[in-house]
Amino acid sequence: MRFLQLNNIIKDITTISNFNRWGVSVEINQLKAFDHVVRLGSFSKAARYLDVSQPTISLRVKELEKSIGGSLFERVGKRMELSDLGKGFLPYARQALDVLVIGAERAQAIKEGKSGQITIGTLPTFTTGLFSSTISSMHETYPEIQLVIHTGHNQQIIEMLYDGFIKMGLITYPFFNSDLKNLHLIKEPLLLVAHKNHPISKWNERSYTVEEVFTHSKPYILTDWSEESKHWQKTHLSFGIDSIELPPATALDFVRRGKGVALLTEAIVQDLLDQEALVKLQPVNFPEIYRWVALVSLEREASLTPAAQRLLETIRSNDQKSFFLE
């Protein structure tokens, strides 16, 4: 809303901003002197308020009148009143000062990391959990920071970084671009899950093996989270086992409809587990498997904008909280 007001004010002070076209300059101190003389009713009071001498205030107003092309005040008896020219100019002078105040506040907020814009890319499979909690925290804590979010696969995000389309990206780790700076590494647990009505869901915990899960999944849904997780899955896929390879989002849809078992990130399935729509399978020989996501940039941490540093701090803080909750 303030940006809209700022744009309207800028449009309204076209007369002042056009002075330079006519070879006329107006100084901020002149506008302040004029405004305070009007507000306080005398040159002497304006001088005391601005902590300058009265002749200085008088000189500033005279220089402003030269730029405007006429007298801003006229004497009526013993009183000083605005002339018609002064009455016409006053709202524009005050709006010009308001613009400068807003601009100074905006610049200070950007400098302090309370305002600004962040462009970030993330994986389609990393838009819930830690990511969504971070965006929510940023919105609550730094409402003046605008977050522009794009999604894409690893290579697309890396290309967006090189093209300058985004300044930060969340990609699968490890990555092999030496000029990308790893700002933060996120560990996401991978879980074997099935629909609550799937026959495997009825098995007692730790009473069955991974091999039995793969055999009775019908089908086992192979998902590609990383080279490590894909290799682990393939080592347990014996010849003849009913299996299908699907993107994570499609795999989740299959499982939600009671078709098969899949290895999915905890963040993607947490709500469905809480609702008891899905069941976490716990084979006796199931290892701890993770998908690693790196927050990267072409800039070092110290070179990030203050707003980007606030985002990095928020991700780290929320990641630490989720770690303690596990």
Q: What is the CATH number of the domain that holds 35?
A: 1.10.10.10
Beta carbons within 8 Å of 250's beta carbon, 6+ residues apart = none
Average pLDDT over residues 5-20: 43
| Dist. CA 272–CA 255, nearest whole Å | 11
CATH code of the domain in which 244 resides? 3.40.190.290
Q: Rounded CA gap, 278 and 268, in Å?
A: 11
Count other C-beta atoms under 10 Å from residue 298's C-beta: 17
- And the tokens for 262? 């899949």
pLDDT (tens digit, 9 = 90+) per residue, 265-287?
Answer: 999 999 999 999 999 999 999 99
Lowest mean pLDDT among 97-101, 132-136, 156-160, 242-246: 97-101
Q: Write down the pLDDT at residue 6.
A: 41
Contact 16, 28 (CB under 8 A): no
Domain count, the chain: 3
Is the same domain home to 310 and 161?
A: yes
Closest by CA to 272, choosing from 187, 191, 217, is 191
Q: Residue 4's pLDDT band (boundaries 50, 70, 90)? A: very low
Query: How far apart are alpha carbons 318 and 314 in whole angstroms?
Result: 6
Task: Evaluate the CA torsion angle 33, 35, 36, 41 in order and state its sign.
Answer: positive
Residues 223 and 173 in one domain: no
Instruction: Provide the CATH number for the domain around residue 167.
Output: 3.40.190.10
- Tell me the one-letter amino acid at 241: I
Indicate the residue type of 35: D
